[in-house]
Amino acid sequence: MTSSTNPLHALRDAGVAVWLDDLSRQRIASGGLSDLVARGVVGVTTNPTIFASALAQGDAYDAQLRALAVAGAAVEEAVMRITTDDVRDACDVLRPVHDATGGVDGRVSIEVDPRLARDTAATLASAETLWSEIERPNLFVKIPATVEGLPAITAALAQGISVNVTLIFSLQRYRAVLDAFVDGLEQARAAGLDLAPIASVASFFVSRVDAAIDPLLDALGTDEAAALRGTAAIANARLAWGVYQDVVTSERWQALAAAGARPQRPLWASTGVKDPAYPDTRYVDELVVAGTVNTMPEKTLEAVEDHGDVRGDTVTGTQEASATLLDRIEALGISVDDVTEQLEVEGLQKFEASWAELLTTVEAGLARAAGPAEAGR
């Protein structure tokens, strides 16, 4: 495949930053992450589910688990050491991209403890700890876009901490996220901070919306409902782009931009297709617009590279039609607001469950590593 026909390069040329939604120590140590960067990946996102999966596979963490066991590390301390080491190393792999893009890309994200998502002060403290522990300029600290998370997002940005706002499902919440972002930069400017290094993305989740609404449409059993299957997620995301445009064209934002601020790019998350009836690249192909990020699980990334249909901007000018689609769904008695609210609750529950799995996996690893040493005493 030549560079001119590689869909990943076509996305880059269309202004879409391609990020990988996965990380593991094996991927870093083997050179796999570097290879993906060479193929066009310019960022990495992680979450508790990804770390739990990485720890459960292979032996890449065994040496560190032994060292932590010998040192008598508690489980939560061990999780902190393991995850921050992986993300720090990934930041170093992506650092040349960060430097080459003037700090726009080359970013690696790590999430605060998801159990803190309803506690503003604890979320902020967790973000501060991760920022200081990893100590890399190309780090993003992920903070969930809960009502309680919004003030923590503002406070973190005000301190100069770059933030990836995650678990955004609704347009209403996205507006609040953008407001929290602008508030944070205004506070940073008032404190005399240089705004240029303070970066942010807003992770707007896509495929989970269809996964939740499609069964509700199916249950209605009408032709109208059937015709609307698979339309909600892309329409919702395209409307989010319209919300973003309203903010970046505002006088309030222009004043910050004049002071050196960078916009909070929309990041399309949850872009793996969950319904096999849909094309496996649909949540990439249908959300192409300059100034966005698309973070993909490796399976989706490989599908896009192999047969992605990148045909230029598929978002600009679609807002009116997208609003009509969601209105038609609402007219059938399906509340999109109720669905997106429930998706936030479920998203947090999934991350909390993955965090518990991660703690259990590390605890078992520490016990195994300590076993021989204890037996030899």
pLDDT of 373 over the 80 cut: no
The owner of tokens 């995301």 is 237
C-alpha dist (Å) from residue 48 to 55, 200, 311, 350, 352: 11, 20, 34, 9, 8
Amino acid at 376: G
Give the global pTM.
Answer: 0.95
Q: How confident is the model at residue 4 (pLDDT cuts 50, 70, 90)?
A: low
Angle at 34 between CA 33 and CA 35, to 5 degrees: 90
Residue closest to 18 by CA, chosen among 305, 316, 306, 318: 305
C-alpha dist (Å) from residue 111 to 47, 143, 144, 234, 246: 6, 6, 8, 25, 28
Contacts (Cβ under 8 Å, ≥6 apart) of 328: 224, 228
Query: Could you report the per-residue pLDDT of 226-276, keeping only the tens digit for each?
Result: 999 999 999 999 999 999 999 999 999 999 999 999 999 999 999 999 999
Query: Could you report the per-residue pLDDT of 6-42, keeping only the tens digit for each?
Result: 999 999 999 999 999 999 999 999 999 999 999 999 9
Q: How far apart are CA 130 and CA 150, in angstroms?
A: 18
Coil, strand or helix: which one is 221? coil
Q: How far apart are CA 37 and CA 44, in angstroms?
A: 10
pLDDT of 377 over the 70 cut: no
CA dihedral 267, 47, 137, 203 (to 10 degrees): 20
Cβ pair 42, 101 in contact under 8 A:
yes
* pLDDT for the residue numbered 372: 57
The catalytic site residues sit at: 142
